[in-house]
Chains A and B, each alone.
Chain A
């Protein structure tokens, strides 16, 4: 498929602009960021790092971000897998269902937060629906109710970001020939046996990739919590914004950003280890 020899210089000229652009807009800011976080007016310092660690909001944000990932991802993957398997059963109106299930792919976390705000806010649609059936109201998003506040963010993220996992799993399922399942069925395997022993093992690469992508993206979630709860449920990236914008301290802001980078890198290393042994990167 690929050409060798005389084409080499041509390829380099075509690639070069993108390389320069990425070096300027990725490597340069990264270098500046490390300087910002670790050097003050009098040379190298860990003052900004200490200030970050002394801030109670930082630890709350770290805990909330971790909790969000731990609670959200298992539910999200169960839902996405269910969605993909349901469509594999060729239900009626499959095209319509698919179209609606992928709409959140193009919705930002800010927009998702505002959508669910109309539902969870004190005089919003959930309490209105409860009132219509004669039940009382509840302050879902009040800081006095941290559990429902957190769950509201989880539901909004479940609504917004499950589509991405669904699409990856759906594409993975399409690559599995139906013959395998049919052969297993001939030998008397029930649906759950076929799922466990035929489909899931074949789906493993898709599941792994989706898991790492979602972990990285979940680390970056912030506007959804800000739209639903203000600063009552701080997340790491939201804290960066607070330090930069409200507290006017870009140094501590970058320090927190580097923590997010470190956590993402751990996930990314896992991502690369999974994808490299495969036949092709774009495959």
Chain B
């Protein structure tokens, strides 16, 4: 039995190392000076930490703008997806209506639709409507990608808020809207925040659509991706760290909701 426990502990440590060591190494690479990156063999310990590589990356053409575009697109996508998806999620949780099954089926189907199938035709549609190469184009695409998951997550959250409380508020004279805002919304808020983080991550990580729909108004990953072939290694490492860092924050923020969101609701 003791050998078994030891094997379990060792297995956990081995997997943690597999997951964590690459994160350590990209941070090490991005925080090394250009000079020490040119040496071989590279040092495996942080003996020569320098912000030079990162600051050169951040001052490269299109990076600061890309960062701003990424944040703009991410936040707008969150807002738009919640604006459209939250009422639908509430309706799914509270009512039975004709076509409900078909609607849920459509939501699931869209999740199987590859981004690539939408991106190229959307580029043509946006070219003819004047939306090409704007952040609006990317916001619309990302909202479309996030909408099915937003509806599914919010409907699961609203299912968790007892309907009786809402009805009690209405019996005491609250309008349906007031009952929703005063009784349901406060209880649903943490879950909705987690769903917002999920949407932001989706938008932050999306490369292909953003690269196809824009030329000058690129998001950060699209900018890094489209200039990849012409960039020095130091730039790519810095870009890698810049893209990975927010992931750590996102996961820390929604750790409590991970199993429910990714594990159950979205499966």
Contact = CB atoms under 8 A, between A and B. Distances in A.
Given A107-B205, A115-B240, A213-B267, A18 B144 contact: no
A46 interface: no
Given A102-B251, A131-B40, A159 B19 contact: yes
B115 A220 contact: yes
B110 A22 contact: yes
B147 A21 contact: yes
B152 interface: yes
Interface string A19-31: 1011001101111
Interface string B132-154: 00000000110110011001100
Contacts, number: 307
Contacts of B147: 18, 21-22
B118 interface: yes
Contact of B15 (A25, A92, A94, A97): A97
Contacts of A62: none
B244 A36 contact: no
Contact-residue bracket for chain B: 35 or more
* Binding site secondary structure of chain B: helix
Contacts of A250: 120, 123-124
B93 to A, nearest CB: 8
A264 B115 CA distance: 11
A200 to B, nearest CB: 17
B125 A14 contact: no
Nearest to A122: B40
Contacts of A116: 22
Contacts of B122: 25, 29
Interface string B233-256: 100110110011011101110010
8 contacts: A15-B97, A26-B113, A86-B12, A93-B12, A110-B224, A110-B225, A171-B267, A283-B264
